[in-house]
């Protein structure tokens, strides 16, 4: 009888031990990720100031206007023939927001004089040569990709003003040829405008600049992350003459695309890039910043909150011993190692989100994976109670502040004096960060955050 009692006690203890510590073997969800590449487009407006130095304009205008610039060979219409040559380089300066031009001239004129009386005509001709400087002023505008000017002749300053004795009278040469010069002055203003338009066609330089800027740029080699720009519209406002240069204030509406997993195939369609005249340029700049957190790193961050956490219900309790993470069907799988009343691994799933205020990734709609839930229910419903999953959900969050800074650093390298080709620079600043979405890729958990700010592409020093 004594032996039977001892056996009963041992059996009871063994049974009690088994009833307070149960082994669970849940089916582990296999990792699976969408094969679709990650693309995220943001519409942005970029300032696009195009600067042409007055020295460059001067160089081009001198190429356009050379040698003989005006000729009038008809002596009979006004008793004058006139030829005007450019004597030296045209000099261009600025004053009061306008271009000031000085054109050295060499003038040859033939003057016919005489009398007609009683049907008798008596005439003679004289040829004269003199030098001077034609002074012009040009108001600058910009339209249809071209620098435009309205040029007016201000004055002609002669280096000498000799006289001729005609029919016993001393007459200044300039007085004699002024009627012919009046027509020349009007035509000369138009010729300067044509020269300016020819030298101020900025379309080739803008398209060349955009072609270089719009080439996709790899921001992160490890995760194959790219940034690409696709312009859709170009805006133009006024041109400003200041600081020895002419600045044409352009702007651009474009799509900025962040791509992960493959190089973007965006192309610049030059033929469809039209220019629109506007009074005010839009200035909102948006770009997606991608922050990459590997699953082991994310798990390690969550472990700080969860490992050691104890969940109790009456005399029953479990303590979290380990955390692992991976993705499946756009959801995050959370693997928890448990020790206590239940021993083993259980699995929950949740949808990752981004908390902009705290710069944290968090899990929402956390619930037990079906297989884990069914097996836990067989052991009692205390562990699958909503309270437990909510506690786990509360602790399944971690800061990505440092990762976000790395993402911003990648974008900032593109926005800090980035020079794709000589004469073209990109500069900008990022300010406000707005949440977008969290994407699960095979290599990492990717938080996509929209950064807002201002940016511009300056074009300077390229020859038209």
The reported pLDDT for the residue numbered 20 is 59
For range 188-202, the mean pLDDT: 87
The architecture CATH gives domain 54-199? Super Roll (3.15)
Predicted confidence at residue 144, as pLDDT, reads 84
Q: Is pLDDT at 464 greater than 50 in this prediction?
A: no
Report pLDDT for 120: 53
Is the predicted pLDDT of residue 167 greater than 80, yes or no? no
Express each pLDDT in 284-342 by its tens digit: 999 999 999 999 999 999 999 999 999 888 888 999 999 999 999 889 999 999 999 99
122 pLDDT band, cuts 50/70/90, is: low
Confidence (pLDDT) at 283:
87
Share of the chain above pLDDT 70, in %: 91
- CA-to-CA distance for 90 and 103, rounded, in angstroms? 5
Quick one: pLDDT band at residue 224, thresholds 50, 70, 90?
Answer: very high
pLDDT number for residue 114? 65
pLDDT given at position 399: 94
pLDDT band at 201 (very low <50, low <70, confident <90, very high): confident
Domains of the chain: which residue ranges? 54-199
pLDDT at 441: 92
Q: What value does the mean pLDDT take over residues 217-234?
A: 92
Residue 338: predicted pLDDT: 94
Q: What confidence tier does 145 reach under pLDDT thresholds 50, 70, 90? A: confident
pLDDT, position 87: 93
Task: Give the model confidence (pLDDT) of 30-84 as tens digits.
Answer: 999 887 778 899 999 999 999 889 998 999 899 989 999 989 888 877 778 889 9
Q: What is the mean pLDDT of the chain?
A: 86
Q: Is the pLDDT of residue 164 over 60?
A: yes
Average pLDDT for residues 341-363, to the nearest whole number?
Answer: 94
**pLDDT at position 318, please?**
92
pLDDT at 10: 40
- What pLDDT sits at residue 9? 41
More confident residue, 80 or 399: 399
Q: What are the tens digits of pLDDT across the range 244-265?
A: 999 989 999 999 999 998 888 8
pLDDT in the model for residue 267: 78
pLDDT digits (tens, 9 = 90+) for 77-119: 777 888 999 999 999 999 999 999 999 999 888 888 765 655 5
Average pLDDT over residues 397-409: 92
């Amino acid at each position: 009888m004594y032996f039977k009692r001892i056996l009963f006690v041992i059996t009871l203890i063994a049974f009690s031990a088994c009833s307070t510590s149960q082994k669970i073997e849940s089916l582990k969800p296999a990792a699976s990720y969408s094969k679709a590449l990650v693309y995220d487009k943001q519409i942005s407006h970029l300032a696009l100031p195009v600067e042409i130095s007055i020295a460059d304009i001067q160089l081009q205008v001198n190429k356009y206007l050379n040698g003989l610039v005006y000729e009038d060979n008809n002596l009979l219409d006004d008793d004058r023939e006139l030829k005007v040559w450019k004597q030296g380089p045209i000099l261009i300066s600025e004053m009061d927001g306008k271009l000031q031009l000085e054109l050295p001239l060499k003038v040859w004129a033939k003057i016919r004089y005489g009398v007609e009386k009683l049907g008798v005509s008596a005439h003679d001709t004289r040829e004269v040569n003199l030098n001077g400087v034609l002074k012009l002023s040009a108001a600058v505008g910009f339209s249809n990709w071209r620098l435009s000017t309205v040029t007016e002749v201000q004055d002609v300053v002669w280096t000498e003003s000799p006289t001729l004795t005609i029919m016993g009278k001393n007459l200044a040469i300039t007085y004699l040829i002024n009627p012919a010069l009046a027509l020349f002055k009007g035509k000369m203003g138009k010729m300067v405008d044509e020269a300016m338009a020819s030298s101020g066609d900025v379309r080739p330089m803008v398209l060349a600049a955009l072609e270089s800027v719009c080439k996709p740029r790899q921001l992160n080699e490890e995760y194959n992350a790219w940034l690409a720009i696709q312009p859709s519209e170009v805006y133009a406002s006024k041109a400003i003459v200041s600081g020895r240069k002419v600045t044409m204030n352009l702007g651009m509406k474009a799509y900025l695309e962040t791509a992960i997993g493959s190089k973007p195939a965006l192309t610049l369609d030059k033929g469809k890039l039209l220019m629109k005249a506007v009074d005010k340029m839009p200035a909102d700049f948006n770009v997606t910043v991608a922050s990459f957190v590997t699953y082991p790193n994310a798990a390690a961050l969550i472990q700080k909150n969860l490992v050691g956490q104890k969940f109790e219900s009456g005399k029953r309790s479990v303590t979290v011993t380990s955390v692992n993470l991976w993705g499946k069907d756009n959801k995050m799988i959370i693997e928890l190692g448990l020790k206590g009343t239940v021993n083993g691994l259980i699995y929950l799933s949740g949808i990752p989100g981004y908390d902009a205020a705290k710069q944290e990734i968090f899990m929402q709609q956390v619930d037990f994976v079906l297989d884990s839930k069914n097996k836990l229910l067989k052991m009692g419903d205390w562990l699958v109670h909503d309270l437990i999953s909510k506690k786990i959900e509360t602790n399944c969050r971690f800061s990505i502040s440092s990762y976000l800074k790395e993402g911003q650093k990648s974008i900032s390298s593109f926005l800090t004096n980035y020079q794709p080709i000589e004469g073209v620079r990109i500069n900008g600043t990022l300010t406000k960060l707005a949440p977008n979405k969290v994407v699960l890729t095979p290599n990492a958990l990717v938080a996509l955050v929209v950064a807002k700010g201002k940016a511009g592409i300056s074009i300077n020093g390229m020859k038209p």
